[in-house]
Amino acid sequence: MSRLYIAEKPSVAKAIAEVLGVTQKRHGFYECGNDIVAWCVGHLLELAAPDCYTPDDVPLRDGKKIWRVEDLPIIPNEWILQPKEDKKELLEQLGALMGKATEIVHCGDIDREGQSLVDEVLEWHGNTLPVLRYLSSGLDAPSVRHGLESLIDNSTKKAFGDASIGRQRADWLIGMNLSRAFTLRAERAGSRALLTVGRVQTPVLSLVVNRDREIENFKPIPYHTLKANLQHEDATFVAKWKAKDDQAGLDSEGRLTDTAIADALVEAMKGHTASVIEAKSTTKKIAHPQAYSLSALTILVSQKFGYTAVDVLDICQSLYEKHKLTTYPRSDCGFLPTSQFDDAPAILASLKAVNPELTKLIDGADPKIKSKTWDDSKVSAHHGIIPTQEVLNKSALTEKERNVYELIVRTYIAQFYPVHEFLSTSIELDIAGESFSSSGRVITKPGWKEVFIEADEDSDEDKDDTNQQLPALKKGDSLRCESVTRRDAKTKAPSRFTDGTLIGAMVNIHKYVEGADNKKMLREGDGLGTEATRAAIIAELIRREYLKIDGKNLVSTTLGRSVVDALPEMVKSPVLTALFERMLKNVENGAMPLADFVAQQETFVRTQVEKANVGSVKIAGAKTAAPISDIYKCGICNHGLIRRPTSKRGHFWWGCSHYPNCLQMYADINGRPNYAKPIKPKEPETQPLK
């Protein structure tokens, strides 16, 4: 028997080959005894361009068919896959290697794309050999060995691959058709702009545009808070005033906005003592932090170090693929499978070798402690990002890689410390008939928080008055009120998005929509985009000049805002994308056939294209194209005419907007077409472009 292992990328193939035992390295594959380990380099095939589905008689421009309203929507009857131009040789080589094998092992990454990109190569070559599936989230030798010992039938993952195919086809339908439809709509109003529309990209752009406008239209509201400085024996602490239900001077949000009333309250409480109405202490526990999903790690790293989403993805990919120090990075899950719990002693030992400065913390870890992070029922296709057993000198890492690696390492070590425990104390007080409250905490068992030295890694609740030390008090106790002070404040506008906070918004998109039903549906979903695509989506919006970087912030451009304004609500709604992802989940688990999913996307696209084909829209920030006249029509086909400049300054001519289907032209006379003097049509290739 001879096995052909097909990996998604060279680094995975190399890791597998090293465990199997390399006998010979060839161009494009490894020989391991009778077995061969080869690789793809991402997708070797791609969906054919729209030109493959439009009529053959469509006129060409720069070697491609021109965009025409009458060709939309473009809905393939049969989907065509084509080899990528730079991957043809590799695709042919894999076909030749398949001819020498008796069994194939599919070693794509353990996600939808990883499943489909190898499956499509097998289908392209008409494979009839049995196929096994390799699943491993690490490139270190123990993880690879475990994956090779746990092969399953590849057919069990077919629905997983179907979800990827569905995503590709739906993105093609939406992107190709709506981008063309709305670009042509803008062109009819004289705007020369490519309006790229994407099922995830467009709602994300809309998020930023809406936030920027909210900030620009924000009007701060001044208000007041009252705080009492209290003393009991040798202890001092602060309490906050709580307004009564019928308190005068409050706005609709319950803020005290009347300065005179605030000053009167302060004056009325001068010289009064404070009486304890209620005092209680409760023992509380905080469970261990989960391992990181890519989004959770991106949000933290962006906040802590200011790295972009693309930076974080590249760093995590390098730690996984190049250094083999961490597991698969594009994870959407923070939980860990119980099957890996027994690896803890070996991983901790490796971490001590790689991170000698953490020896004391690692020695304090108890690998017998099993946190709630280990939960098979909550592990998705991937598990949280954790360290591997690979031992490497950290000097090989860049500063950015070391920073991210240490976060992953500390969070893993924290799993083997006790839970964090503290005493939460709350006190209700009365001062001259007014209510005040104070809260604080006393740490009784640091537990896993010992692992996190940096204070800013603690939760936000540790950063305000809730962290103050409170004296032991009981109901009826009296305290001296040192002072009651009025503090002036203003409501603040929301912050502009950064890479990290925008990723967070994409994950928690339910917070940004209206309606309880929509919020519930989105809360139960996976947000906008996937772990693998979110960083790339932000980068693409910047590349298209829809967003720009301003320091750490992401800000919408005039062009980006116009694009959002030009699109119907349904196209830019995150609710639509949530429904899309929910259907893909159903495809993935076999509850919805692929054909049914694609059919629903076709219906949606037809509806939106029909709407876009009506009227026109001006795009601010776009280059200006000559507008199509609503007054002057072509004498041949009745389409609107376009007034164009000649090479001689101040001179113009008129051409049919239906070029190259209609080549009619007219001379210009005082800003109007001279119908009495039509110009002899030029050949299409020499006609000026719109």
The contacts of residue 311 (CB under 8 Å, 6+ apart) are 301, 400
What does the mean pLDDT of the chain come to? 89
Reading the block at residue 82, the tokens are: 């084509």
pLDDT tens digits for 29-54?
999 999 999 999 889 999 999 999 99
The burial class, CB within 10 Å (0-12 / 13-18 / 19+), for 238 is middle
Q: Work out the pLDDT band at 688, boundaries 50, 70, 90.
A: very low
Helix, strand, coil shares of the chain, percent, nearest 5, are 40, 25, 35
Spatial CA neighbour of 336 closest among 378, 394, 396: 378
Residue 4 has pLDDT above 70, yes or no: yes
Residue 143 has pLDDT above 60, yes or no: yes
Reading the block at residue 524, the tokens are: 């139960």
Angle at 111 between CA 106 and CA 115, to 5 degrees: 35
pLDDT tens digits for 171-200?
999 999 999 999 888 888 777 778 889 988
Amino acid identity, position 333: C
β partners of residue 422: 284, 443
| Cα separation, 458 vs 462, whole angstroms | 7
Residue 419 has pLDDT above 90, yes or no: yes
Domains delineated in the chain: 3-166 (3.40.50.140), 181-216+496-612 (1.10.460.10), 222-287+420-490 (2.70.20.10), 294-414 (1.10.290.10), 626-686 (no CATH)
Q: Describe the strand order of the beta sheet including 131-133 as a list of residue ranges.
A: 24-26, 29-32, 35-39, 3-7, 103-107, 131-133, 152-153
Residue 521 has pLDDT above 50, yes or no: yes
Residue 417 has pLDDT above 80, yes or no: yes
What does 151-215 look like in DSSP terms, one character per residue? -EEGGGGHHHHHHHHHHHHHHHHHHHHHHHHHHHHHHTTTEE------TTHHHHHHHHHHHHHHH
Task: Name which residue leads in pLDDT, 659 or 606.
Answer: 606
User: Average pLDDT for residues 277-298, to the nearest whole number?
Assistant: 94
The contacts of residue 259 (CB under 8 Å, 6+ apart) are 224
What does 207-266 look like in DSSP terms, one character per residue? HHHHHHHHHHT----EEEEEEEEEEETTEEEEEEEE--TT-TTB-TTS-B--HHHHHHHH
Residue whose pair of structure tokens reads 């001077």 in the numeric block = 249
pLDDT tens digits for 436-464?
999 988 889 999 999 986 534 444 444 45
pLDDT tens digits for 526-582?
678 888 789 999 999 999 999 999 998 999 999 999 999 989 888 888 877 778 878
Residue 522 has pLDDT above 90, yes or no: no
In terms of average pLDDT, the best of 404-413, 439-448, 654-663 is 404-413
Residue 618 has pLDDT above 90, yes or no: no
User: Average pLDDT for residues 221-231, to the nearest whole number?
Assistant: 95
Give the model's pLDDT for residue 455: 38
Q: Work out the pLDDT band at 624, boundaries 50, 70, 90.
A: low
Secondary structure E strands in 634-669: 640-645, 652-656, 665-669
Give the model's pLDDT for residue 381: 67
Torsion over CA: 466, 468, 474, 477 (sign): negative
Give the model's pLDDT for residue 621: 62
pLDDT tens digits for 602-616?
999 999 999 888 876
pLDDT tens digits for 320-337?
989 999 998 988 889 998
Q: Work out the pLDDT band at 267, boundaries 50, 70, 90.
A: very high
CB atoms within 10 A of CB 668: 17
Residue 465 has pLDDT above 80, yes or no: no
pLDDT tens digits for 148-162?
999 999 999 999 999
Amino acid identity, position 208: V
Residues 48/50/53/54 CA torsion (nearest 10 deg): -160
Q: What percent of the chain has pLDDT over 70?
A: 93
CB atoms within 10 A of CB 573: 17
Give the model's pLDDT for residue 625: 62
Which residues are designated catalytic? 328
pLDDT tens digits for 382-396?
789 999 999 999 999
